[in-house]
């Protein structure tokens, strides 16, 4: 079962996990495989059980925090991201995949095989984009055709 540590009393060696059903479960440090990673809001997996006082957890394993984010084949170190911005840009409806800089995804491939008869020459559409700037000065731009912009922004906010 999955859950999140909601309370951790380091000096007493126990805490509480909110499980995927919304229930609070007691756990003790001796039931944790990697106790050095215990902290409030940490994601955990565990085996659910009950004891004389109620719901509890054993075989608890704290998920290590990822230091990297993978976006459309790019690996970005979270601490290297200086800023990001979401914006929209008008692009031709019949825009093709950039052969010089191909980042292929299902979205790009599906939009490139639309019936062409419905497209009028010069017709434009609004395309949502995400620009990420790193401390090294690089700017990476991803489009809604390549990635789920909203889901990626949620990961950046964590």
DSSP 138-154: -EEEEETTTS-HHHHHH
User: Which residues, other chains included, contact 141 with Cβ-Cβ below 8 Å and sequence gap of 6+?
Assistant: 129, 130, 131, 132
Specify the range with the lowest mean pLDDT, choosing from 6-20, 46-60, 64-78, 93-107: 93-107
HSE toward the beta carbon, residue 59, CA cutoff 13 A: 7
Flag whether pLDDT at 64 surpasses 70: yes
The pLDDT, as a whole number, for residue 12 is 96
Phi, psi of 39, deg, nearest 5: -165, 160
pLDDT of 126-144, one tens digit each?
999 999 999 999 999 999 8
Q: Which of 58, 12, 56 is nearest to 32 (CA)?
A: 58
Burial pattern 18-46, b for ≥16 Cβ within 10 A else e, equals ebeeeeebbbeeebbeeeeebeeebebeb
Q: How far apart are CA 124 and CA 126, in angstroms?
A: 7
Report H helices in 22-157.
106-112, 149-157
Mean pLDDT, residues 9-24: 95
The pLDDT, as a whole number, for residue 110 is 55
**Residue 145, class by beta-carbon neighbours within 10 Å (0-12 exposed, 13-18 middle, 19+ buried)?**
buried
Flag whether pLDDT at 48 surpasses 50: yes
Taking a C-beta distance cutoff of 8 angstroms, is the pair 51, 57 a contact? Answer: no
């Amino acid at each position: 079962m999955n859950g999140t540590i909601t309370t951790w009393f380091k000096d007493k060696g126990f805490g509480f996990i909110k499980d995927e059903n919304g229930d609070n479960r007691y756990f003790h440090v001796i039931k944790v495989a990697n106790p050095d990673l215990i902290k409030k809001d940490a994601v955990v997996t565990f085996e659910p059980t009950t004891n004389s006082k109620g719901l509890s957890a054993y075989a608890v394993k704290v998920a290590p925090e990822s230091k990297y984010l993978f976006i459309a084949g790019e690996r970005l170190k979270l601490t290297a991201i200086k800023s990001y911005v979401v914006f929209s840009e008008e692009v031709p409806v019949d825009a093709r995949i950039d052969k010089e800089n191909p980042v292929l995804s299902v979205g790009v491939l599906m939009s490139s095989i639309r019936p062409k008869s419905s497209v009028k020459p010069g017709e434009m559409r609004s395309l949502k984009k995400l620009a990420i700037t790193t401390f090294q000065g690089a700017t990476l731009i991803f489009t809604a055709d390549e990635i789920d912009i909203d889901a990626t922004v949620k990961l950046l906010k964590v």
